[in-house]
Copies of this chain bind each other. A is one copy, B any other.
Amino acid sequence: MTQATSSTRRTSSIADGELSALSARDAIVAIRERRLSATALLDACFARIDAREPTIHAWSHLARETARERAQFADEALATGTVLGPLHGLPIGVKDVFDTNDMPSEYGSRLFRGRQPEADAAAVAVLRQAGAIIIGKTTTSEFGMYHPSPARNPLDPTYSPGVSSAGSAAAVVDEMVPLALGTQHTASTILPASFCGAHAFKPSFGFTSMDGSNILVPRLAHIGFMARTVEDLCLFASAFDPTLATAHIYVSRPPRLAFVRGPGWDQVTTDADDALRNLLATLPIAIDTVELPVDFDHAVKVSFGLLNAHLAHRFGDLPSQSFADLCPPLKAGVAEGKTLSAPDYLELDAAADRMTAATSALFAHHDALVTLSAPGEATRLEDGPGSGVLAAPWSLCGLPTVSLPLLHGRKGLPIGVQLIGQRGFDRKLLQSATWLVRTCQNHSSKRA
C-alpha cells in the first residue's frame, strides 16, 4: 500500500503497464506535476478493461468517446494552469443505479433496458464538478438487491464478488479504475468490498443527496465509495465533504475501539472469527467488547421488512408481463411485502428509529466499533451471492462504516474488518480506519 509521502518516488518513472495500478492519490499527484496525462491514464484503464472485462464483467456501459474528450479537456485545462477540482482527470466508475446524462442507467434490470436519463444524478454531477472522468457504469444486482450481478470476483472468477455494488468493487480491485461509486441499502457496499478485498466507505445517512439514484427505501439509501487505500477513500469522499480530504493526515492518537458482535454472528465462520481475534490481539491498544441492546436482534428482519414493503409498493402493480421480467428474489420480496399491513410497516419504521436512537450510547466511550464486514470469505458462485447480515444493522441506523481488507480466510481470500462510527462523525471514523490500516501495515512489515 502506498503512503502519501512515497508518492513522488513511486511515480517518478511510471511504466505504462503500471499506470492503471496507481492509487488515485498517486495519479493525482503525477497529473498535477505533469508527469502523467489524464489521457494516458484513461488509455491505461481502458487497456486493462479490454484485457480483463471478458472475465470480470464489471461494466454494463463504457463511455469511451466522451471520457476521452473529457480527459483531453482536463489535460488542456491543466496546461493553462486550471485545476478542475480535487479529482482532476481521475477515471471513475459509477454503479449503474446512478443516472448519467451520457450513458444509459438501467438499474441492472431488464425492465429498464436502454433507459437514458436526461440529467446526471446529484452525486455524478458532484464528481464531474470535482474534475473526475466518469468512464462507465458498473454492473449491479437488479435494483441493488438480493440477486447476483454478472460481475465475477477478480481474485478468482469462480467466486462471488458479493452484492450489489459488485461491479464497482471488482473494477477497483482489478485495477480497471482507482475509484468507483456504489450504494448501500443493507450491505451493498460493505459486502462486495469484503469479498473482493476493496477498501470501502459508506458514510452517515444523509451524507449527500441521493437524487437520481434508485432510492428504494429512503431511510436506507446511502452512497458508497470504493478504493484501494484508505487515503483514496478520503480523497474520493472529499469531493462531497472537503473536511474529509485531510482525515488520513491528522491521526494524532490511537482510537478507542470496541469489538462488537452483530446480529447474525452465528453465521460467522471459524477462520473469520479467528482472523479477527488474532488481528485485534496484535494491536497496541486495549479493545473492549460492547453488547448491543436486545432490540438489535431484529435489525436484519426490520431492514428486509422495510425493503420488501417498498418493493411491493414499487413493483406490486406491474403488468404481469413486466413483473415476469423481475429476478426471482425481487418477486419474492414483493410477495413478502404485500403480506405486511400498514401498522406492521409503521412498527418496522418505529423499531428502526428506536435502534438508531440507541446507537449513540455505544459511542459514549469509543470512537469506533470493530467487527467483521462479512461472515467469511467470498462464497463460490454456485453458493449464491453471500450474506449481508453483518452490515445491515449499521446501514439501518445510518451509521458510517468502512470495510478494510485486513484479514484472510483459509482459502486465502480477503475478509473485511468493518469499523463503525457514530452517526455524523465520518471524519473520526476515517481517522480510526487510517490508524488501523497503518498499524497493521507496520505490524506485517516488522514480521516480514
Interface residues of A (CB under 8 A from B): 309-310, 312-313, 316, 337-338, 340-347, 350
Q: Which 6 A-B pairs have the closest CB atoms?
A: A340-B342, A313-B346, A342-B345, A309-B342, A313-B343, A312-B343
**Extra 6 A-B pairs, beta carbons < 8 Å, given A310-B346, A338-B342, A345-B346:** A309-B343, A309-B346, A312-B343, A312-B346, A313-B342, A316-B343
Q: Residues of B contacting A337 with CB < 8 Å?
A: 342-343
Give A316 to B338 CA distance when docked, in angstroms. Answer: 19
Q: Residues of B contacting A312 with CB < 8 Å?
A: 341-343, 346
Could you jot down 19 A-B contacts, CB within 8 Å? Answer: A309-B345, A309-B346, A312-B343, A313-B342, A313-B350, A316-B343, A337-B342, A337-B343, A338-B341, A338-B342, A338-B343, A340-B342, A341-B341, A341-B342, A342-B342, A342-B344, A342-B345, A345-B345, A345-B346
CB distance from A165 to the nearest CB of B (A): 25
Give A340 to B345 CA distance when docked, in angstroms. Answer: 10
| Centre residue among A309, A340, A343, A345 by max chain B CB count within 10 A | A343
Give A341 to B309 CA distance when docked, in angstroms. Answer: 9
CB distance from A292 to the nearest CB of B (A): 25
Q: Residues of B contacting A309 with CB < 8 Å?
A: 342-343, 345-346
Give A345 to B313 CA distance when docked, in angstroms. Answer: 9
Give A342 to B346 CA distance when docked, in angstroms. Answer: 8
Q: Residues of B contacting A345 with CB < 8 Å?
A: 309, 342, 345-346
Give A338 to B344 CA distance when docked, in angstroms. Answer: 9
CB distance from A49 to the nearest CB of B (A): 39
Q: Residues of B contacting A313 with CB < 8 Å?
A: 342-343, 346-347, 350
